[in-house]
């Protein structure tokens, strides 16, 4: 067995030990197929007010510009599908935000993975990324054979659907590389048909500026009047296109204690959300991704939903 193969097997076994659902590796380099897609998406202003999507265009497409002498992109999936669901008479938040903020949970695991690699293999340099830097994580995960990008633009897998986070470790070590898998969306249009705001404008193309997640998290201004009645009680994010995807019938509950929801979250009804105080928000969502929208953003979203019910 070559060193390259031995290192690759070690990295994948360490990823599994740390709780990652799967690990795929691809050669670092320019993403040729993604370049024209990203350019036309930005030119059509589908990023809305997410101006940061326009920054670092070259770095988004080429990790060798992000990490000096990078050779390999290690893509990792971490399951977040919850065992428990919110109260049926509640305003809804995306399942990924039930527990602690995934950025911190995953960053810690990635640091440990890099430390293990350096400990076992030697002088290896790299950087960890959890959707907070200009890395096209879904494209890399697909290139690494972890799934295919579906019509709702999420990474899909036959075994476990799409309720997982994607993260990367980009390192300056050559490894054995995986290959992409085939697309299994077929003629299904469940996600396009179900999207409440018609944000999936055509198969594989999502207009980010029309997505409920964009409105409830990214948009800092008032919510557009023409969207009244279309949010289906989503107060933070939206899971509709994932909930209707047939491949998510195979989702299995996660095993990460830090992703377990705060007990109060599960019992909250619409009335509780409407009467939420800043103190309660801080207590229940202390380490949650919900802090991204801030208390003011959450109350804006809830008022908008209350007005349309």
* Secondary structure percentages of the chain, helix, strand, coil, to 5: 45, 15, 45
Point out the catalytic residue in the list 68, 123, 131, 272: 131
252: tokens are: 């299995």
User: Does residue 306 sit in helix, strand or coil?
Assistant: helix
Measured distance CA(134)–CA(250) in Å, rounded: 30
DSSP states of 81-100: --SS---TTS-EE-GGGSSS
Rounded CA separation 60/155 (Å): 18
DSSP E strands, the chain: 22-27, 72-79, 92-93, 126-129, 148-149, 155-156, 164-171, 200-202, 205-206, 234-236
Catalytic site residue 131?
yes
Of 66, 51, 201, which is closest to residue 137 (Cα–Cα)? Answer: 66
Catalytic residues: 131
């Amino acid at each position: 067995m070559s060193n390259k193969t031995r290192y690759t097997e070690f990295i994948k076994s360490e990823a599994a030990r740390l709780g990652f659902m799967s690990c795929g590796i691809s050669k670092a380099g320019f993403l040729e197929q993604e370049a024209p897609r990203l350019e036309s998406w930005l030119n059509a202003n589908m990023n809305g007010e997410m101006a940061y999507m326009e920054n670092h265009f070259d770095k988004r497409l080429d990790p060798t510009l992000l990490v000096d002498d990078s050779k390999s992109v290690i893509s990792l999936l971490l399951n977040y599908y919850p065992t428990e669901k919110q109260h049926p008479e509640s305003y809804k938040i995306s399942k990924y935000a039930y527990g602690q903020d995934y950025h911190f949970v995953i960053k810690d695991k990635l640091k440990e993975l890099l430390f293990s690699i350096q400990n076992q293999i030697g002088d290896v340099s790299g950087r960890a990324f959890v959707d907070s830097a200009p890395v096209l994580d879904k494209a890399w995960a697909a290139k690494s054979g972890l799934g295919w990008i579906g019509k709702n633009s999420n990474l899909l897998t036959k075994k476990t659907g799409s309720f997982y986070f994607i993260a990367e470790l980009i390192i300056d070590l050559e490894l054995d590389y995986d290959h992409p898998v085939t697309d299994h969306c077929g003629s299904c249009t469940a996600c396009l048909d179900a999207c409440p705001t018609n944000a999936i404008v055509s198969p594989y193309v999502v207009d980010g500026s029309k997505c409920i997640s964009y409105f409830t998290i990214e948009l800092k201004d008032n919510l557009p009047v023409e969207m009244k009645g279309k949010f289906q009680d989503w107060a933070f994010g939206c899971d509709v296109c994932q909930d209707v995807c047939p491949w998510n019938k195979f989702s299995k509950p996660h095993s990460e204690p830090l992703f377990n929801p705060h007990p109060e979250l599960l019992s909250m009804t619409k009335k509780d959300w409407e009467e939420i105080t800043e103190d309660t928000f801080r207590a229940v969502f202390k380490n949650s991704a919900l802090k991204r929208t801030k208390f003011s953003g959450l109350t804006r979203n809830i008022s908008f939903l209350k007005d349309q019910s």
